[in-house]
Amino acid sequence: MKSLQCILLTFTLGFSSFLFSQNQTLNEMYINSIDSLIEQQLTFQNKNRGSETLVFLKDSMISYRFDDVIEDCEYQPIKSFYSYNEFGELTVLIVKNTPEDGCEASKSKTLFTYNNHNLTNRIYQLYDFTLDEWYNSSKRTYQYNTGDNVIEEIRYQWNSETSTWENYRKYTFLYSGNLEIEQKRFDWDSGINDWFWDMLKTNSYNSNNDLLEYN
């Protein structure tokens, strides 16, 4: 399996909508917003990995948000920096704002690890400007079936007092071929020290594998 040929500046991916409040810490909205980028990139890389296709990867990007009522320190430009491994898979994503004088700076980092080109671990960190160091925020781990479809995703939150990852949420997935037909969500109950099932989603398809209905 050939490694990708080069890493350049502009591989267009659906990430332009990523913006968040300057004073907002890393949260589910931010985490979910980069999922589209990662999913599209992994799909593209896997599809073209064995070919002679030159893959152009983004080095950095600045995002702006238009606001017709400008308030102090609101919607400052966000700059994202991307790092990749030899296969063109995203390994580090650093996002920071460009604060004006008197506005609060923010910076976050996401670390990605892979096994056989499948994303298996994603760690989210925030930057402490006072201590001048990164600290853990949350983590997601993934397991796959033989068709490289995600069958389990577990989310964790960092406990700074015990310096350990604590269970937060889990998703399980069932497939018919490569089509997702069921998704279950579980939340962690520290009282019973176990997962409890709290949501079910199902999908149905026609003979052409087009999605007909989801519940």
| Domain tally, the chain | 2
Give yes or no: residues 129 and 177 share one domain: no
Per mean pLDDT, which range of 34-38, 73-77, 113-117, 183-187 is the poorest?
34-38
Mark whether 127 and 39 lie in a shared domain: yes
The domain in which residue 150 lies consists of 145-215
pLDDT above 70 (res 189): yes
In this predicted structure, what is the pLDDT of residue 140? Answer: 96
Average pLDDT in the chain: 79
pLDDT of 45 strictly over 50: yes
Report pLDDT for 37.
62
Pair (123, 183) in one structural domain: no
- Position 134 scores a pLDDT of 96
Residue 35, both tokens: 């999922």
CATH number of the domain encompassing residue 209: 2.40.128.720
Q: Length of the chain in residues, anyone?
A: 215
In this prediction the pTM is 0.75
DSSP lists the bridge partners of residue 123 as: 111, 139
Q: According to the model, what pLDDT value does residue 138 have?
A: 95
In the predicted structure, residue 19 carries a pLDDT above the cut 50: no
Amino acid identity of residue 40, one-letter, is Q
